[in-house]
Amino acid sequence: MSYTVTEKGTVTIPVEIRKKYKLNPGSKVRFIDTEHGALLVPTPTMEELRGILSKEVGYQIIREIHAERRAEAARDES
């Protein structure tokens, strides 16, 4: 199937795709440029992500992000 991009750059997402990926009015999506073309990726809300990770895994991710930011800040100061 092919769809037409409007003058304003919009395109209709087929209903089957919207249902499959739970894309409702107001849903956020990202377009990622790949070597094979553009990839449309649903962006989950914080509410949808709540509970997806165990507390310890979540804390570990936060610690890693903080460590990366501290390292970036140290490089910027050099």
Domain ranges of the chain: 1-43, 44-78
What is the CA 47 to chain-centroid distance, rounded?
14
pLDDT at 52 over 80: no
How far CA 55 is from CA of 51, 62, 63, 64, 75, in Å, comes to 8, 11, 12, 14, 30
Structure confidence at residue 74 (pLDDT): 86
Question: Is domain 1-43 annotated with CATH 2.10.260.10?
Answer: yes
Is this model's pTM higher than 0.75 or not? no
Structure confidence at residue 11 (pLDDT): 93
Which band of pLDDT confidence, cut at 50, 70 and 90, is reported for residue 4? very high
